[in-house]
Structure 1
Amino acid sequence: MTATLARPELDDTAFARLEAEGRLLNPLLKGPTNKFGRVGFRGELALRFAPKLADEARPPELMCTQVLAIANVGEKHLPFFAGYLLSFEHLKDVAEVLGDALSAGGKYFLYCNNIDLSKKYQVPYKGAMFYVLPIDEATVYNELLELFYIDKGDLKKKDTAGKLDAIADAALKFDVTFDTITYSEGLELMGPVRNPNENRPV
């Protein structure tokens, strides 16, 4: 199914606006999971669009990649969202794009490339609490398995939706606390932004 067609399964969830705005990109999964009433998304979230030139559709200027998220039919908030950011400063963009889909009780995890590898924080922003964690070479998926003590072997026989369900269920129960800092404190603490294209063959 192409992205231009309506996705009725997303319509009555917190994904509806994001889908209508064309922000749910390159999905490994975008639709019902194996849990009744739950819709899942694994892919990329467009945070900032490039100006359109005539009919040319250009890739977004800013993305939150490696996104894992769920929504429940009939609910306006995302209970769980995780993703990867090159820079901590883009937490603001994520919070603004998700907007009214965020809630005080939601579990939101952002892995940032320019956070000290020995630190983990909680950052309140726009009425939600974000877990901000460092990432080096691993993927968000693998980092979440480690954070939630999920054995990779236990997920082997599950499909993409089943794997997302297992991670989301663990996220919803996660209640570990880290040092709480403000967004502006995080901006002062963050390191330089790594060039994602360095060390790649041209």
Structure 2
Amino acid sequence: MTDTISHHELDETPLASLQHQGRLLNAVFRGHTNAPRRIGFRGELALRFGPRLADEARPPELSCEQVMAVADVSDPHLSFFAGWLLSFEYLRDVAEVLGNALSARGKYFLFCDNVDLSRRYQVPYNGAVFYVLPIVESTVYNEMLELLHLEKSELKRKDTAGKLDAVADAAILFDLSFDTISYAEGLEAMGPVRDPNENRPV
């Protein structure tokens, strides 16, 4: 894991409160990217925790996985966030956990396991707009490359920070429009939630 970030700089980004709450887990990358004053994170965002027993760390009951996020030092908002959810329903949890880190100008992408493969939505929630898409290309990283027309071969030579910068830079400029639906309409349209443990060896 890359971890090249001072507490002072972390405290000047919205990633600070998430870190202090113990929500930034399994970090593949956390620290300065190659862009000036940008702090990035790739890993897992804990959304709900189980009950705490004594001093044991609480494992998350629910997470947003394969997260990619960036924020600039001294900016109170995340400029880019992407992640994977088992169910569209958990968009509400993401929005509530990120809270004031969201803004109307940020670009936020959620790939949901139970969204119709032929549909893409924009869902306004808490003053931000989430692009909600099905998961087709197996990983959020691959989905973002496909959505943003980035060539994987051109990014191969970059380090983890460079790959995150390339995706974030393109995502921030993303301006396609999808069908706008409310969160309630999304709940009605979503498919059944898959059991993530099915077909796994016991």
Aligned length: 201
State the AA in 2 paired with 1:45. L
Q: Give the corresponding residue for 2:93.
A: 93
Partners of 1:116 and 1:131 lie apart in 2 by: 14
What residue number does 2:8 align with? 8
Identity %: 69
| Alignment match, 2:167 | 167
Q: What is residue 75 of structure 1 aligned with on the other side?
A: 75
Contact 1:9 1:32 in 2 (8 A): no
Matched, 1:64 2:64: yes
> How many Å separate the matches in 1 of 2:46 and 2:6?
18
Mapped partners of 2:6, 2:145: distance in 1: 32
Could you tell me which residue of structure 2 aligns to residue 148 of structure 1?
148
* 1:91-137 superposed Cα distances (whole Å, 9 cap, x missing partner): 00000000000000110000000000000000000000000000146
Aligned to 1:132: 132
Deviations 1:15-34 (A, max 9, x none): 11111111111101111000
Inter-partner Cα distance in structure 1 for 2:107 and 2:140 = 15
Match of 1:45 in 2: 45
Q: Which runs of 5+ in 1 are unaligned?
A: none
Amino acid at match of 1:83: G
Offset of 1:14 from its aligned partner?
1.2
Q: Which residue of 1 aligns with 2:111?
A: 111
Q: Distance in 2 between matches of 1:76 and 1:56?
A: 31
RMSD: 1.7
Superposition TM-score, scaled by structure 2 size: 0.96
Letter in 2 for 1:81: F
Work out the CA distance in 1 between the residues paired with 2:108 and 2:121. Answer: 12
2:197 alignment partner in structure 1:
197
TM-score, scaled relative to structure 1: 0.96
TM-superposed CA distance for 1:178, in Å, is 0.2
Partner residue, 2:34 = 34
Look up the SS of the partner of 1:115 in the other structure: coil
Q: Distance in 2 between matches of 1:106 and 1:41?
A: 16
